[in-house]
Amino acid sequence: MRNTHEIDFKIIGEEMQCVEIELDPQETVIAEAGSLMMMDDEVRMATIFGDGAQEGQGFVGKLFSAGKRVLTGESLFMTAYTNDGSSKRYVSFAAPYPGKVIPLDVSELGGKVICQKDAFLCAAKGTTIGIEFQKRIGVGLFGGEGFIMQKIEGDGLVFVHAGGTIIERTLAPGEVLKVDTGCIVAFTKDIDYDIQFVGGIRNTIFGGEGLFFGLLRGPGKVWIQSLPFSRLADKIISSAPKMRGKRKGEGSVLGGLGDLLDGDNF
pLDDT in tens, 153-178: 999 999 999 998 899 999 999 999 99
pTM reported for the whole predicted model: 0.76
Residue 152 Cα distances to 96, 129, 186, 205, 242, angstroms = 19, 5, 10, 37, 41
Model confidence over 12-68: pLDDT tens digits?
988 789 999 999 999 999 998 889 999 999 999 998 876 655 555 555 555 555 555
Main-chain dihedrals φ then ψ at residue 136, nearest 5 degrees: -85, 130
The pair phi, psi for residue 24, each rounded to 5°, is -75, 165
CATH superfamily, domain 8-235, is: Mitochondrial biogenesis AIM24 (3.60.160.10)
DSSP state letters, 154-197:
SSSEEEEEEES-EEEEEEPTT-EEEEEGGGEEEEETT-EEEEEE
